[in-house]
Each structure stands twice: as C-alpha cells, then as structure tokens.
Amino acid sequence: MSAKKSFSTETSERYSRALFEVAKEAGDLEKLETDIKSFKSLLENSTELKNFFNNPTQSIHNQNNINNVLSEKFSFSKNLKNFFSLLIEKRRIFFVSKIIDSFLKLCSRKRGEVKASLISSKKLSESELDNISNDLSSSMGTTIKFDYKIDKELIGGLKLQLGSFMIDTSIKNKLKKLEQQMIEN
C-alpha cells in the first residue's frame, strides 16, 4: 500500500470530517449517522440510484430534485440535505459512498469502537454474535463491532480479523494446511 492517499480518498475524508464537525457542533451527530446509514442502505439496494448519482452527465438540477425528494421522503436532517446539495453543486456527489464510509468510521472511532471482520460458515444468531463481541470486547478493553459475513466455502468454523490479527478456525483452512503438509512430505 502506498504512503500517499488517492485524490478520491483524501477528498472523501476531508468532506466526511467537515460533515462530522458540522453535525457535532449542531448536536445532530446521532440523527445524521442514522440518516446516513439509511441512505447507504438505499444506495446499496438501488443500482438505479447509485448510477444516477455516479453519472457525471446528470444535471445539477436533476440531482438536486432527487436529493429533495429523498430528503423529504426519508426525513433526512437539514444538515444532510444541505451537505448532499453541496456535493451536487461542487460535482463531488460521485464520492458519496466513500464519504459515507469515512463518516461512519469517524462516528465509530468517536464512540471508541474498533471494527473487526467476522466470517462464519453458517448464519450466527444475534445472541451468538453478541457473545463473541462481548467476550472479545472485554479481553481487548474496548468495544468491538463486527462486519459480519457468511461464507459457506469455509465448510465449518470462523475467521476473525482485527487489524493485522487473524484467527482462522475454519475447516477449509485446516484442510489447506493438511494439503500443504502432505505435499511437503
């Protein structure tokens, strides 16, 4: 990984920090985070909406109209609506996904949370996820939030990644190790 950030990453982080500071000053951070999560879900579930905002040939007027409709329909905070308007006016709305991710990381960091990746071979219940999170949080001395996914190719077991620390108890990994041992012998 290079030491220098890409233009899009640096720009996205700058915009997300600005939004974070404005929301914090206005005492609107919690509402804004909820609204942003709703918008992120909309983007992830609507290819048309994603394409609309990523299309540089869309007029500023059309994009602002959609922003107004979405803000009204989903009761987005005034700060979020104005922020999207600014992105549209500056022709930076196509950075919105990166800005959202960066903003959510800032909110998580403010709460003292650490993100971890958890992948299991089968769907875990909420209580199982909570137990894993609580056990890990107490041993680490900080709140751990999981990015949880299911990967049936693991056959069985879990994979947990926390920064550069990786625990892989999957059957797939064990079979891979056995295969390597057999090749070496």
Q: What is the per-residue pLDDT across 134-167, written as a single tens digit (0 to 9) for each?
A: 888 888 788 888 888 999 888 888 898 887 788 8
* 63 and 85 co-located in one domain: yes
Confidence at residue 33, expressed as pLDDT on a 0 to 100 scale: 94
**pLDDT tens digits along 18-35:** 999 999 999 989 999 999
Domain of 66, in residue numbers? 7-109
Which residues in the chain land under pLDDT 50?
A: 1-2
Taking a C-beta distance cutoff of 8 angstroms, is the pair 19, 83 a contact? yes
* 44 and 78 co-located in one domain: yes
Domain end among 81, 109, 137: 109
Could you tell me the pTM of the whole model?
A: 0.67
List, edge to edge, every strand of the sheet that includes 113-120.
143-150, 113-120, 158-162, 165-168
Domain end among 90, 109, 128: 109
Residue 161, strand partner residues? 117, 166
Token digits for 159? 């994979």
Taking a C-beta distance cutoff of 8 angstroms, is the pair 163, 115 a contact? no
What is the rounded distance in angstroms from the CA atom of residue 156 to the CA atom of residue 129? 16
The domain that holds 59 is classified in CATH as 1.10.520.20
What is the rounded distance in angstroms from the CA atom of residue 127 to the CA atom of residue 116? 17
Domain end among 78, 109, 140: 109
